[in-house]
Structure 1
Amino acid sequence: MYKGHKVAVVIPALNEEQAISIVVRNLITLMFDEQAVIDNVIVCDNGSTDNTAKVATANGAQVVHQSTPGYGIACLTAIAKLPSCDIVLFVDGDDSCFVDQALSLLNGIVNGDDLAIGSRTLGTIENGALTKPQLFGNWLSSHLITLFWQQKITDLGPFRAIRLSSLHALNMADTSFGWTVEMQVKAIILGMQVSEYAVDSKVRIGQSKISGTVTGSIKAGIGILSMIATLFIRQSSIKNTAQLRGSEYE
């Protein structure tokens, strides 16, 4: 619990046997004012062929399973099993972030944010933590969102916290790589308070399922840009329809 707010963590994981124990332990032992911050950790095993699920369970996480591949569907599966809580924290299972920096995100929610994004761009990125295609893709996508929706965005990173009521209001649907974009853009469209906080990034344990292969990088890029385009076209269509209806009464 953080300042009177129950906190649940969602970790989508695919073959993260080497790192998941570190991530789960660091979360469970995270303290603030001599009190454990995290109330529940839910790991969605997204079709792992190693011992990710077994290791996560042994270290204190609740494990749910989703055999259909996809970052978004793994998150949705875990969300469906959330216990009663006030804040949901999203963390990757590869030990690429410093979980103690979650306190900044949680503090943002407690102080009024609906969505608090951990921005690696505002923090320090360890050499090798992100590939050049990742850095460029993140820069391009962030700038497109800033341009289309007039709110400064610097990162689409997965390390983030959101108020549970706000998460439900977003009606998240993407099952793949567009998940983080969908969350940020929908929150902006709905007029939610979205803030960014500097977080640091380190080289992950094991090979990335996305940037570790050319195919993965291409699929991720297409998924992210497609989501941006879809949301922009949808919003523009709604605005145009509203304007046409309004002109009927002029």
Structure 2
Amino acid sequence: MNPLIKVIIPAYNEEDSIGKVIRDIPATVTEVIVVSNNSTDATEQQAKEAGATVLQEQRKGYGYACLKGMHYIAANEPLPDIVVFLDGDYSDYPEELTKLVAPIVEDDIDFVVGARVPELREAGSMTGPQIFGNWLATTLMKVFFRSTFTDLGPFRAIKYDKLLALNMEDKTYGWTVEMQLKALKKKYSYRELPVKYRNRIGVSKVSGTVKGAIFAGVKILGWIFKYSIKG
């Protein structure tokens, strides 16, 4: 029996890309949920026309948008077996979703992260601060938690019951690292899979600004040190 898969896409002013993202998602997905994070352009209209369920989250923050999507899923049956998180900027390749969920379906792995490895990355698709931040965060995770993660990539899949058990709480930039740290603490089985990555459509709201890059770095390191102190 095929697993029931739902996709959550946080989106803030992604009118030029969101339709492409949704249309490239494999037909095996049961529902695509786009959470418009206070968008002021035609993101919501484009998402609806592409066939997605569209929610609104007025509070700005990546985590706020993801939590909104999770609350919607919890209130609407059928509940999924797997939840996939995907960005709305078309930097990831949505068609790789099938590859991403395969370890969960075939090998009973709890959590899979798409790793944006250098050999599959388009030139310029990740900024210097992003590359350094990923290296620093994953290196600290190796030191403190013996992790094998090499990336904090946003394209990820997780069993729905395991996602609920994480009690996710970060509202902004720390969402991805919080998920990985909590999965490590709970000793979930996990796997990284190399995924392709290209230059996003439009300007990043995080890595594209100095303020965003600094805030993201602070949140990520804050989560790591919080959990390393807890032991």
Which residue in 1 is equivalent to 2:60?
69
Residues 25-60 of structure 1: per-residue CA shift (max 9 Å, x gap): 111xx2xxxxx3111000110011111111101110
For 2:197 and 2:163, the matched residues in 1 are separated by 25
Alignment of 1:212-231 (within 5 A): 212-231=208-227
Which residue in 2 is equivalent to 1:45?
36
Change (3 A) 1:7 1:160: same
Deviation for aligned residue 1:227: 1.2
Counterpart check, 1:101 vs 2:96: yes
Counterpart check, 1:92 vs 2:94: no
Structure 1 stretches of at least 4 aligned residues deviating more than 6 Å after TM superposition: none
Question: 2:31 corresponds to which letter in structure 1?
Answer: N
For 1:14 and 1:228, the matched residues in 2 are separated by 27
Which residue in 2 is equivalent to 1:145?
141
Residues 148-201 of structure 1: per-residue CA shift (max 9 Å, x gap): 101211000100000001001111111111111111111111111011001011
Contact 1:9 1:90 survives alignment (8 Å): yes
Contact 1:122 1:197 survives alignment (8 Å): no
Q: Secondary structure at the match of 2:224?
A: helix
Contact 1:146 1:153 survives alignment (8 Å): yes
Which residue in 2 is equivalent to 1:11?
9
Question: 2:19 corresponds to which letter in structure 1?
Answer: S
Which residue in 2 is equivalent to 1:136?
132
Which residue in 1 is equivalent to 2:21?
23
For 1:49 and 1:116, the matched residues in 2 are separated by 32
Alignment of 1:104-119 (within 5 A): 104-110=99-105, 111-119=107-115
Which residue in 2 is equivalent to 1:245?
none
Q: Secondary structure at the match of 1:152?
A: coil
Which residue in 2 is equivalent to 1:246?
none
Question: 2:131 corresponds to which letter in structure 1?
Answer: L
Contact 1:7 1:86 survives alignment (8 Å): yes
Larger radius of gyration: 1
Deviation for aligned residue 1:121: 2.3
Counterpart check, 1:159 vs 2:150: no
Structure 2: 5+ residue runs without aligned partners?
A: none
For 1:19 and 1:70, the matched residues in 2 are separated by 19
Deviation for aligned residue 1:123: 5.1
Identity value in percent: 43
Q: Secondary structure at the match of 1:116?
A: strand
Structure 1: 5+ residue runs without aligned partners?
A: 31-35, 237-250
Which residue in 1 is equivalent to 2:175?
179
Contact 1:122 1:154 survives alignment (8 Å): no
Bigger mean CA deviation after superposition, 222-231 or 86-95? 222-231
Change (3 A) 1:123 1:169: farther
For 2:125 and 2:226, the matched residues in 1 are separated by 29
For 1:147 and 1:125, the matched residues in 2 are separated by 26
* TM-score of the pair, normalised by structure 2: 0.95
Deviation for aligned residue 1:212: 1.0
For 2:132 and 2:84, the matched residues in 1 are separated by 26
